[in-house]
């Protein structure tokens, strides 16, 4: 299937806003979610891959592919992050995690998605952080090779503040891009994660520290940030964080997908209006 190349900002939504919070059986509900998102005026949809969903029946994959073709919506894929760790010290866990993601890349290519968001994994032991980062780098190299083979782009996502998470700071991304050079490697910029890290003191509060990486971003996640709540995925109408810097300095000129990472349709629709007004 033709890969959907994105050459202008496309505002989209996470499929969970339509499939519901119950993760079991979600794959069979995604074709309907694709149609509903398109009817509601979204230009893109991010399909979530859950454990073993990269092997879910070909009939469901085909249904999603047909729904995308029928609506013209631009798909993106979020790889599995449950029971997955591409930075694991355990060779077996790390290998299985990479294999699961490689299958996800094949699924993304099959349905025509150019972008696949990937969580960079967790540090198993603080004293082994350097070794975990070496393992993570090897995993990313393997995923980039897989992405090049099937014609998709893997986008490593910046993570929130718990110390066990890798890739919370701009420096980690700069090091990665300096060491791995490929047009099939990019970044998913999660604005709520930036807000959480700034609030927790992990990174400076100045959002300008992320500007040097804007050119590497292919996909954006945005949701409201509420101080004191653990990644609440709330409407932008409730957000304690002011995203105006990113609207003005980045999204107004961004050529890629912007995904409202929300779990309720109502939150997604009202947040979409905020983003559209902000980038006019």
User: Hey, which residues does 219 pair with through a beta bridge?
Assistant: 188, 257
Buried b (16+ CB within 10 A) or exposed e, 214-250: eebbbbbbbbbbbeeeeebbbbbeebebebeebbeeb
Q: Is the pLDDT of residue 4 over 60?
A: no
Output the CA–CA distances (angstroms, integers) from residue 40 to 22, 103, 136, 256, in the order listed.
22, 30, 39, 19
Proportion of the chain above pLDDT 90, given as a percent: 81
Looking up residue 258, the CATH number of its domain turns out to be 3.20.20.150
Q: Is the pLDDT of residue 2 over 60?
A: no
pLDDT at 163: 84
pLDDT at 18: 94
Query: Please, which residues have CB within 8 angstroms of residue 71's CB and are 6 or more apart in sequence?
Result: 34, 35, 38
pLDDT greater at residue 20 or residue 123: 123
pLDDT at 97: 95
pLDDT at 51: 80
pLDDT at 6: 59
When pLDDT is cut at 50, 70 and 90, the band that residue 25 belongs to is: low
2 assigned to some structural domain: no
Q: Is the pLDDT of residue 271 over 90?
A: yes
SS3 track for the chain: CCCCCCCCCEEEEECHHHHCCCCCCHHHHHHHHHHHHHHCCCCEEEEECCCCHHHCCHHHHHHHHHHHHHHCCEEEEECCCCCCCCCCCCHHHHHHHHHHHHHHHHHHHHHCCCEEEECCCECCCHHHHHHHHHHHHHHHHHHHHHHHHHCCEEEEECCCCCCCECCCCHHHHHHHHHHCCCCCEEEEEEHHHHHHHHHHCCCCCCHHHHHHHHHHEEEEEECECCCCCCCCCECHHHCCCCCHHHHHHCHHHCCCEEEECCCCHHHHHHHHHHHHHHCC
4 assigned to some structural domain: no
What's the rounded mean pLDDT across residues 72-81?
95
pLDDT at 233: 85
227 assigned to some structural domain: yes
189-234, pLDDT tens digit by residue? 999 999 999 998 999 999 999 999 999 999 999 999 998 777 778 9
Q: Is the pLDDT of residue 23 over 70?
A: no
What's the rounded mean pLDDT across residues 96-116?
95
Q: Which of 144, 39, 132 is nearest to 88 (CA)?
A: 132
Residue span of the structural domain in which 45 resides: 10-278
pLDDT at 50: 80
Q: Is the pLDDT of residue 22 over 70?
A: no
User: Hey, which residues does 156 pair with through a beta bridge?
Assistant: 118, 187
SS3 track for 22-46: CCCCHHHHHHHHHHHHHHCCCCEEE
Number of domains in the chain: 1
When pLDDT is cut at 50, 70 and 90, the band that residue 20 belongs to is: confident
129-174, pLDDT tens digit by residue? 999 999 999 999 999 999 999 999 999 999 998 889 999 999 999 9
Q: Is the pLDDT of residue 280 over 90?
A: no
5 assigned to some structural domain: no
């Amino acid at each position: 299937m033709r890969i959907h190349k994105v050459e202008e900002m496309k505002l989209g939504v996470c499929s969970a806003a339509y499939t519901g919070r119950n993760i079991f059986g979600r794959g069979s509900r995604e074709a309907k979610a694709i149609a509903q998102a398109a009817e509601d005026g979204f230009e893109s949809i991010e399909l979530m891959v859950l454990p073993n969903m990269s092997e879910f029946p070909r009939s469901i994959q085909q249904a999603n592919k047909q729904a995308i073709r029928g609506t013209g919506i631009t798909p993106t894929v979020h790889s599995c992050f449950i029971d997955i760790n591409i930075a694991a010290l355990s060779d077996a866990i790390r290998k299985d995690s990479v294999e699961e993601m490689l299958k996800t890349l094949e699924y993304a290519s099959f349905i025509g998605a150019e972008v696949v968001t990937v969580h960079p994994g967790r540090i198993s032991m603080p004293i082994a952080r350097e070794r975990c980062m070496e393992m993570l780098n090897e995993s990313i190299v393997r995923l980039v090779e897989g992405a090049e083979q099937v014609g998709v782009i893997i986008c490593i996502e910046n993570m929130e503040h718990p110390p066990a998470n890798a890739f919370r700071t701009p420096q980690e991304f700069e090091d990665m891009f300096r060491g791995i050079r490929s047009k099939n490697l990019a970044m998913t910029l999660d604005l709520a994660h930036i807000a959480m890290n700034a609030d927790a003191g992990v990174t400076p509060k100045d959002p300008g520290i992320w500007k040097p990486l804007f050119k590497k971003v292919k996909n954006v996640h945005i949701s409201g940030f509420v101080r004191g709540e653990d990644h609440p995925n709330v409407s932008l109408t409730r957000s304690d964080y002011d995203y105006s810097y990113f609207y003005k300095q980045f999204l107004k000129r961004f050529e890629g997908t912007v995904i409202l990472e929300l779990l309720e349709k109502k939150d997604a629709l009202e947040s979409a209006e905020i983003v559209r007004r902000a980038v006019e």
